[in-house]
Structure 1
Amino acid sequence: MKLKNFKGEIILTITALIWGTAFVAQSMGMKYTKPFTFNGVRTVVGGIALLPVILFMSKSKGESPKTEINDNKLWIRAGIECGLALLIASSLQQVGMQYTTAGKAGFLTALYIIIVPILGLFLKKKVRMTVWLSVVIATIGTYFLSVKQGFNIGIGDIYIILCAFGFSVQIMIVDKYASLTNAVKLSCTQFFVCGISSVIIALIFEKPQFSQIMQAAAPILYAGVMSSGVAYTLQIIGQRYTEPAVASLIMSMESVYAALGGWLILNEQLTGKELFGCALVFTAIIITQIPKKGSSSRSFEKIETQQA
């Protein structure tokens, strides 16, 4: 069992690495394309990348969980809801990437780990004191990370913070349907909904050029195939062997990899003040993931109802 746990942790570490470095790909892609064009092509590619996985799973024995409901209407509704939430969140993120660094975007996006349990209050979820402590620390960290001279917050930082709320909603929707339909099919559907919607918006407002898309082919393929297709699939596999609190903590490392990727690949620099803000935000993320003492059950961050 310990070997399986280790296997799951390694897989989730790779997932976080892919997601973190995808911020670099997004930043590079924006040199050639506009936000909705990049997101549209990227998520369609991600959906296509998952099709072989679905085909393989359909041929494998015991591919579906016992709790899965074979309901096409539910599957489609779930895919549309998740896809629209992903559209809003990823669009805000991609627009914000035009005005801020990959490292800062990675850290601010990671705020979803704190926002999710706060939104859970509306579902009458009890919030531990450690979470409120995390909120205070993250707020201070966000101040040092985002607020410029004259108490002005950069426009890109605002977009990224809003995107964190969008991803929080998307996470809650996914949790709502995770036990009711196939997770990989759900991910694939949400990518196509998000991608097609983004392409339509891009055609109306951005007038994308094929030559521009080809110039951004490498970042698009990495963000599409690796970040969307591969990483989401690895997440599902990794969480089979890893307890939820540990899995969330490992995946939150995407913010660290985003900062390192921006530093190593894009030569982005963070000031001492911004580094201190990053440290506070990451500390808040760690504190949020600490399970309640004496409890072996999943912490309150879990939105979906556990099945017996």
Structure 2
Amino acid sequence: MRFGISGAALSPFLFLKSTNLKQNLLSGLEVGLYLSLGYVSQAVGLQTETAGSAGFLCSLQVVFVTLLASLNSKTISFPALLSALLAVLGVAQLEGLTTGFTGFTPGFITLMLQPVAFGYSYLRIETLMRKNPDDALPFASSQLLSTALFSGVYATFVEGSTSLPDSFTAIFSEGFTSPQALSLAYTAVFGTIISVAVECEALKYISPREASVILTTEPLIASVGASFLLKEEFDGWIGAGLILLASGVTFVPKEWMDRLPFGKGGEEGEV
């Protein structure tokens, strides 16, 4: 529901400000399909797996993006591999998943679609934004509307024809100022509109690999925020350090790394 609200809010940019409306619509449909696959797999997997497991498996997108970019450029970058490893280890420690592997359960396998779907969407967003670099907001609207469409189709035909009306009733039964409605509005504006628009704009300047490493800071920010706002105890200092170190390795100037015998590596190409 939040994707539909967010996409509709940005739709004036799509239909009035697009330099290439057809391209934005087609690009949005493509990326929206990948995103909806990631979110649906997340929702299904969370029915049997923990949020920590879901967060950790989602962080593997940094590995997927790094490997795909390396295959595409036909080179292996040591800094890229190091930052991916540090980021994944950091998220694992932060989520409390350092005690071992529990097995390939159906929920685990479903959640493994997250890094593939989300990771590939970053690669495609970067490529598509190069074609229309001035259309960040129109493109964001198109992909959000498409995500809402594909997710709605899944909810209707898999979860049941009454799932969407029931959700709408549950959220707005007490009016548009109820806690549920305000929470939806907050996630639509700050968690979706702003984040997707910034992502589209940022991927014009940074690589998908760099973006995926940045996104591994999400559980760190959530944990720190919970510590301040909800007074939860924060004890993930090792994980926090690894994640921050991964970000540092990612953004070390290339000429510095090239001075090291293991530091040279190719750039990401178009996917």
Structure-1-length-normalised TM-score: 0.63
Q: Which residue of structure 2 aligns with residue 213 of structure 1?
A: 171
Q: Which residue of structure 2 aligns with residue 147 of structure 1?
A: 97
Aligned residues: 246
Matched letter for residue 83 of structure 2: S
Please say if residues 112 and 165 of structure 1, whose CA atoms lie closer than 8 Å, have aligned partners that are also in contact: yes
- Output the CA distance in 2 between the equivalents of 1:128 and 1:265: 39
Unpaired stretches in structure 1, ≥5 consecutive residues: 1-40, 59-63
Q: Which residue of structure 2 aligns with residue 42 of structure 1?
A: 2
SS in 2 for 1:179: helix
- Output the CA distance in 1 between the equivalents of 2:100 and 2:217: 31
Residue among 155, 166, 178 paired with 2:117: 166
The structure-2 alpha-carbon separation of the partners of 1:239 and 1:191, relative to structure 1 and needing over 3 Å to count, comes to closer
Aligned pairs for 1:17-28 within 5 A: none
- Output the CA distance in 2 between the equivalents of 1:154 and 1:218: 38
- Output the CA distance in 1 between the equivalents of 2:185 and 2:267: 32
Unpaired stretches in structure 2, ≥5 consecutive residues: 174-179, 259-264
1:268 Cα deviation from its structure 2 partner:
5.8
The structure-2 alpha-carbon separation of the partners of 1:217 and 1:168, relative to structure 1 and needing over 3 Å to count, comes to same
Aligned alpha-carbon RMSD (Å): 3.9
Aligned pairs for 1:1-308 within 5 A: 41-54=1-14, 58=17, 70=20, 72=22, 74-96=23-45, 99-101=49-51, 109-141=58-90, 143-144=92-93, 145=95, 147=97, 151-152=101-102, 162-181=113-132, 182-206=135-159, 207-208=162-163, 209=166, 210-214=168-172, 216-236=180-200, 244=206, 248=211, 253-265=217-229, 272=235, 276-293=238-255, 302-304=268-270
Compare 192-201 and 120-129 and name the one that shifted more: 120-129
Please say if residues 187 and 232 of structure 1, whose CA atoms lie closer than 8 Å, have aligned partners that are also in contact: yes
The structure-2 alpha-carbon separation of the partners of 1:133 and 1:146, relative to structure 1 and needing over 3 Å to count, comes to same
- Output the CA distance in 1 between the equivalents of 2:228 and 2:186: 17
1:54 Cα deviation from its structure 2 partner:
4.3
Q: Which residue of structure 2 aligns with residue 10 of structure 1?
A: none
- Output the CA distance in 2 between the equivalents of 1:288 and 1:159: 29
Q: Which residue of structure 2 aligns with residue 20 of structure 1?
A: none
Compare 84-93 and 210-219 and name the one that shifted more: 210-219
Among all aligned residue pairs of Structure 1 and Structure 2, give the percentage whose two residues are the same amino acid.
Answer: 24
Q: Once the two structures are superposed, what CA deviation does each residue of 1:178-198 show, in whole Å capped at 9, x if it has no partner?
A: 121323222211111110111
Matched letter for residue 212 of structure 1: A
1:170 Cα deviation from its structure 2 partner:
0.4
Please say if residues 147 and 154 of structure 1, whose CA atoms lie closer than 8 Å, have aligned partners that are also in contact: no
- Output the CA distance in 2 between the equivalents of 1:149 and 1:295: 34
Please say if residues 87 and 216 of structure 2, whose CA atoms lie closer than 8 Å, have aligned partners that are also in contact: no
The structure-2 alpha-carbon separation of the partners of 1:52 and 1:107, relative to structure 1 and needing over 3 Å to count, comes to farther
